[in-house]
Structure 1
Amino acid sequence: MKKIVLGTLGAAILLSSCVSQKKYAELEAKHMETQDLLNSATVKLNDCLEEKAAATSKMDALAEQNAFLKANNQELINNMGDLTTLTAKGAENLEKSLESLQEKDLTIRRLQDAVTRRDSVNLSLVQSLKGVLGNLDDEDIEVSVEKGVVFVSISDKLLFRSGSYNVTAAAKNVLSKVAKVVNNKPDFEFMVEGHTDDVPYRKGVLVDNWDLSAKRATSIVRILQNDYGVDPKRMTAAGRAEFVPVSATDKSKNRRTRIVVLPKIDQFYSMIEDGMKDPAINK
């Protein structure tokens, strides 16, 4: 009996020992599985943390970039406003400049038209003078235009004897032709200039070459007025003595009487005013 009890007890102990090892193995397997899951979760967690850190860094960089772009955009908006203001002022200044240039261009065109008209009148005068004086020696009389002024230069040997201011009878032939032309040009004034050489005047009642040149000019003016009816209000007599020579070597060329023909000042201004009214100018 005692042996039976002991055998039963040993069998029970042996059975109990076998069950515990099986559960332990199962638990051990579950533990290993759980550990693997934990390790995987840890790896994934670390990956997520790294991704989060990278995303956070990228987000911070984007935030900085966004702030920079906002500031830059505002600066561009401000600059655009300033540029718009400057552009408006520039356009206004450009418009004023163009208007000023147009006015200056119009003034220049009007003056050019007036000068062209004056030159046309001068050309007509020169042709008339050369026409009536054409049979005279070219060395003794010269008709020219300088800076819009017509000059008639007559050698003294055609007009006066040496040292005299009395006009010769032959000279009246020349003066009558000059008078004919100037009488046909009532819109012109002219000045008669007496010129001498540099040889001092030493005879008669005159003091010097100033006196001689002035007396020769007044002699010409009197004949044009008294003999040929030239309006004295259109004439000026002037003595230049020897101080405006035309030749340094030939004194005879310096002894001359010069008639300077020029438009009346008011007549010239009338040309300008007429030019301003010309439809062709005001297009």
Structure 2
Amino acid sequence: MKLQLSILALVCSLAACVPAKKYNELLEREKSCSEELNKYKASSIENEGKAKDLQVAVDQLRKDVINLKKDTLELGSNLRFLQSQYDMMVAQNEAYEQKLDQLRMKGAKESATYQADIDSKNQELQRKEDALKNLESELIAKEKLLLEREERLTELEEMIKRKDDAMKQLKTRVSAALKGFENKGLTVVEKDGKIYVSLEAKLLFASGSTSVEAEGKKALVDLSKVLENEKDLEVIVEGHTDTDKLASASHPKNNWELSVLRATAVVEIMIANSKMNPAQLMAAGRSEFHPVDVKDKAKNRRIEVIISPNLNELYKILEGK
């Protein structure tokens, strides 16, 4: 916001020496760039948060599956133990009943004692049987929950693998399409599930300019043609500058503005020369604050096209939709 106010103040101070029509066009373009930058910054932060939340959810599901397997093994062990206790009680009960029959001949007193003992054993046996049934029900519920979690985890892992495989294949196609520019300041790298296409400024722009040169335009057109049929992607175009300060009375007046206007120029070319959906694209300026080589200013003057998968489908699975 401070940057926008500064730019607005400076533009106002120069209004006297700039034709009204040109001034209004510059002011409108600055406003549009600022609104679009704020919109896409928010989108980028939200997607990064989603990716982190997704990884946390997958890790939690893995932990849940491990715990459920542990609980299932423990319940199975308890079930077998109670079954052996139950069988032993049944055998003891049968033995007591046999002995009771023998003692009935010896007198009612001893018979009553054994009958009370049998009743007590029967009650204990019933408690064991009830506990056994409860444990069996709990085991069935745990096994069902374990199966559901494993299926959900498998579905997530398969979808993540498909997205990773799709990004690897896309990286191969992008590299092939831009092979002719490999030694002209263009690199293609896959990192953290995203594809980074870096184009040095010398390939795209003259010094201090925001107009894309012919050879740079060809590279952008080739890239956009590869991406135009990929509907499940988000593309961020970032402008970067070196640390040399701009001191111009006209636009661009500083490195922030230069980086944003260059990113916007790249986005306009990609949209104009392909069937890409503008909603998938975001233009952003990083100015001089994300250098790749502090010793080589030329490498820092660049455009980075960051291609990342849309994670909305994964979140639908996590939310049970």
Give the TM-score of the pair, scaled to structure 1.
0.62
Aligned in 2, Cα 1:216/1:104: closer, same or farther, shift over 3 Å? same
Instruction: Give the partner amino acid of 1:162.
Output: S
Structure 2 unmatched ranges of 5 or more: 1-108
- Residue 99 of structure 1 aligns to a residue whose secondary structure is helix
Q: How far off is 1:164 after superposition?
A: 2.6
2:128 corresponds to: 83
| Cα-to-partner distance string for 1:215-261 (whole Å, 9 max, x where unaligned) | 11101011222344544233221112233333444443332211122
Q: How far off is 1:129 after superposition?
A: 0.8
Distance 2:120 2:296 in 1: 82
Aligned residue among 280, 286, 294 for 1:234? 280
- Residue 180 of structure 2 aligns to a residue whose secondary structure is coil
Give the TM-score of the pair, scaled to structure 2.
0.55
- Tell whether 2:191 aligns with 1:146: yes
| Rg (Cα) greater in structure | 1
Aligned in 2, Cα 1:77/1:147: closer, same or farther, shift over 3 Å? farther
- Percent of paired sites with the same residue: 30
In the alignment, is the contact (CA less than 8 A) between 2:238 and 2:263 conserved in 1? yes
Distance 1:150 1:200 in 2: 30
1:111 corresponds to: 156
Aligned residue among 209, 212, 232 for 1:164? 209
Q: How far off is 1:179 after superposition?
A: 1.9
Mapping for residues 252-267 of structure 1, pairs under 5 Å:
252-264=298-310
In the alignment, is the contact (CA less than 8 A) between 2:205 and 2:213 conserved in 1? yes
Mapping for residues 205-244 of structure 1, pairs under 5 Å:
205-228=251-274, 230-244=276-290
Distance 1:171 1:180 in 2: 14
- Residue 166 of structure 1 aligns to a residue whose secondary structure is coil
Instruction: Give the partner amino acid of 1:220.
Output: V
Distance 2:120 2:245 in 1: 87
Distance 2:308 2:197 in 1: 11
Instruction: Give the partner amino acid of 1:219.
Output: A
Number of residue equivalences:
209
In the alignment, is the contact (CA less than 8 A) between 1:114 and 1:271 conserved in 2? no
In the alignment, is the contact (CA less than 8 A) between 2:184 and 2:203 conserved in 1? no
Aligned in 2, Cα 1:245/1:97: closer, same or farther, shift over 3 Å? farther
1:99 corresponds to: 144
Q: How far off is 1:138 after superposition?
A: 5.1
Structure 1 unmatched ranges of 5 or more: 1-62, 277-283
Distance 1:87 1:248 in 2: 71
Aligned in 2, Cα 1:139/1:171: closer, same or farther, shift over 3 Å? closer
Aligned in 2, Cα 1:75/1:251: closer, same or farther, shift over 3 Å? farther
Q: How far off is 1:163 after superposition?
A: 3.0
Let me know the Cα RMSD of the aligned residues.
3.4
- Residue 165 of structure 1 aligns to a residue whose secondary structure is coil
Aligned in 2, Cα 1:72/1:254: closer, same or farther, shift over 3 Å? farther
Aligned in 2, Cα 1:83/1:220: closer, same or farther, shift over 3 Å? same
1:20 corresponds to: none
